[in-house]
A and B are shown apart, each in its own frame.
Chain A
């Protein structure tokens, strides 16, 4: 699956526009100003923000139930009552889409939170202190890398899924999906931050700080962290795209969000057998998914160019 969306390179146009001088007077950080000149990234950012707003405020505005079936209205095309039509059980597609979007974004948010708090922290500590800690962290990361793709996430979600659902219900399942997806994505974050830290700690400004008597803690927080923050921000933004797809994969395999709760991945595959009756039921969730994936990828690419102007050359 699109594991490394980071390979999406910006088109020549966006590269040129982002070199243009910033917007001037405002006191925004330089990288925000550079990002604002990248039209594709700004549009994508607006789309992503809109999707987040739909997911958070949607249920309050559009009150149709996402799980109540209506057997009198199955596989309907959009009507005034069901704005995006209904699925094969007569459930409202828009309502399901809003909740599915919610699940995707919540999972993505918590996976990245875990990646940053676990992966980035371990990478920073391992890179800075080296020694035994470094050996342990890199070995664990290497071992987790030995499982290709989603394999380990599938194994963990499958093995613990039923028990977690029995004990904690839907929330437990959501947490399990989050945990198993971050299990396969934190090693990359740790590796990136570690290698960047290794380079940084040999730089003169760090030596200078140390010779002035700065503590390890101070060097890491005030000298190294700001310089790896860009990488952390960019790679976790880009990773959101693959997490959203991976959550969909887990759910459509029956290992993620359990029916009747909606998940975008499950919506797509559930509607596929009814393509001939109502292709729109496949189109809407697929479109929403691609909107998140591409939107987040373009924002990530824009952030990469904005935080690291050297990458433009």
Chain B
């Protein structure tokens, strides 16, 4: 087990390095002169040189990369093109917290609904509950977020016109602003988790040791919750990684469509103003965050399942 962890930990810096190199290259290869477009019509050679130096663009690409990477290590994401000399971190720092909160809320919701629904379906295999639950979960999984949003909004609007309690259409700040975005963001991973939980539980229910437990006369409840559920949970841990990947793309869509000031929304805004360092920083932040989350998930997986520890 230690060997596996070590191998992961050793490869981690290289993956992070590759992520920063790719992100840097995309930014470096971006066509056009950012300084010229920053200056607009005021073409003053002195200012031009000064800004080029400030942004480090007068250096060869390898020096630029070293500056960029060492800046990242110190939490410096570089400077904005749109707001002269302003650090990118100033622009998106507040968004990071919002996105993290939104993402964690969505992940919690999808786990706390997906797992019970999956278990219930597995225990009542082929019953009406199973079919209805799985159809609902498949729908949530298959319908993209930008189609779910108008559906929810329409339902919400029907509540509103009938004078029933309804939710705000968009915005951020009050607790009720959370409800629709979190549900939409959680939908895809919820469906995915529920379906996987069901499969995993059905798989475990077929195991010999459960028949043995039954033969020994253990109570059904004990068999289900102590013997089956704990083993079924192990593979479920692995779905957390793909769920987080769903959340990342979902963040962009949900934040943009609900006008939530997270990093997804802020970087989409910055794109229309051609402030590329912002989307670059967002990419690095999200990719590295997901990388660490995946590492933690894998470690958790190994901790939970002694069989993997031995094989590793």
**A→B interface (CB under 8 Å):** 1-5, 7-8, 142-143, 146-152, 154-156, 158-163, 245, 248-249, 252-255, 265, 268-269, 271-272, 275-276, 279, 282, 286, 289-290, 293-294, 297
Q: Is A289 a contact partner of B147 (Cβ separation < 8 A)? A: yes
With most chain B CB atoms within 10 A of its CB, the pick from A4, A5, A154, A268 is A154
B69 to chain A, nearest CB (A): 16
Given contacts A146-B291, A155-B283, contact A272 B150 (CB under 8 A): yes
Cα of A129 to Cα of B257 in the assembled complex, Å: 48
Interface residues of B, count at CB 8 A = 51
Q: Is B142 a contact partner of A1 (Cβ separation < 8 A)? A: no
The 8 closest A-B pairs by CB, nearest first: A149-B249, A163-B31, A148-B245, A143-B18, A148-B290, A148-B248, A158-B271, A282-B150
A87 to chain B, nearest CB (A): 14
Within 8 A of A (CB), among B1-46: 15, 18-19, 22-23, 26-27, 29-32
Cα of A129 to Cα of B66 in the assembled complex, Å: 36
Q: Is B279 a contact partner of A1 (Cβ separation < 8 A)? A: no
Contacts of B178 in A (CB 8 A): none
A107 to chain B, nearest CB (A): 15
B301 contacts the other chain (CB 8 A): no
Q: Is A149 a contact partner of B30 (Cβ separation < 8 A)? A: no
Q: Which residue of chain B is the closest to A241 with respect to CB atoms?
A: B142
Contacts of A160 in B (CB 8 A): 29-31
Q: Is A290 a contact partner of B143 (Cβ separation < 8 A)? A: yes
**Contact residues of B: prevailing secondary structure:** helix
Contacts of A147 in B (CB 8 A): 19, 22, 283, 287
Contacts of B149 in A (CB 8 A): 269, 272
Offer 17 A-B interface pairs, CB within 8 angstroms, sorted by A: A1-B188, A3-B246, A7-B192, A147-B287, A148-B286, A149-B249, A150-B249, A155-B280, A159-B29, A159-B276, A163-B31, A248-B146, A249-B253, A253-B256, A269-B149, A286-B147, A290-B147
Q: Is B279 a contact partner of A155 (Cβ separation < 8 A)? A: yes
Cα of A289 to Cα of B144 in the assembled complex, Å: 9
**B→A interface (CB under 8 Å):** 15, 18-19, 22-23, 26-27, 29-32, 138, 141-147, 149-150, 153-154, 157, 161, 188, 192, 195, 242, 244-246, 248-250, 252-253, 256-257, 268, 271-272, 274, 276, 279-280, 283, 286-287, 290-291
With most chain A CB atoms within 10 A of its CB, the pick from B26, B161, B271 is B271
Given contacts A148-B286, A159-B30, contact A286 B252 (CB under 8 A): no
Cα of A245 to Cα of B246 in the assembled complex, Å: 13
Cα of A163 to Cα of B19 in the assembled complex, Å: 24
Contacts of B244 in A (CB 8 A): 148
Number of inter-chain CB pairs below 8 Å? 136
Contacts of A279 in B (CB 8 A): 150, 154
Contacts of B145 in A (CB 8 A): 1
Q: Is A286 a contact partner of B286 (Cβ separation < 8 A)? A: no
Given contacts A146-B291, A158-B276, A272-B153, contact A294 B27 (CB under 8 A): no
Q: Which residue of chain A is the closest to B23 with respect to CB atoms?
A: A155
Cα of A155 to Cα of B22 in the assembled complex, Å: 10
Cα of A148 to Cα of B103 in the assembled complex, Å: 14
**Contact residues of A: prevailing secondary structure:** helix
Contacts of B22 in A (CB 8 A): 143, 147, 152
Q: Is A254 a contact partner of B272 (Cβ separation < 8 A)? A: yes
13 extra A-B contacts, CB within 8 A, seeds A152-B283, A159-B29: A1-B188, A2-B142, A3-B242, A143-B18, A146-B291, A147-B22, A154-B279, A156-B26, A160-B29, A248-B146, A253-B271, A282-B150, A290-B147
Contacts of B27 in A (CB 8 A): 159
Contacts of B188 in A (CB 8 A): 1-2
Cα of A289 to Cα of B32 in the assembled complex, Å: 36
Looking at the complex, which one of B248, B272, B279 makes contact with A149 (CB distance below 8 Å)? B248
Contacts of B141 in A (CB 8 A): 2
Contacts of A275 in B (CB 8 A): 150, 153-154, 157
Given contacts A1-B144, A149-B248, A269-B257, contact A8 B138 (CB under 8 A): yes
Q: Which residue of chain B is the closest to A167 with respect to CB atoms?
A: B31
Given contacts A148-B286, A151-B286, contact A1 B250 (CB under 8 A): yes
Q: Is B144 a contact partner of A249 (Cβ separation < 8 A)? A: yes
Contacts of B32 in A (CB 8 A): 162-163
Q: Is B268 a contact partner of A148 (Cβ separation < 8 A)? A: no
Given contacts A148-B287, A253-B256, contact A155 B26 (CB under 8 A): yes
Cα of A271 to Cα of B192 in the assembled complex, Å: 28
Contacts of B245 in A (CB 8 A): 3, 148-149
Looking at the complex, which one of A7, A245, A253, A282 makes contact with B195 (CB distance below 8 Å)? A7
Cα of A150 to Cα of B161 in the assembled complex, Å: 37
Contacts of A253 in B (CB 8 A): 252-253, 256, 268, 271
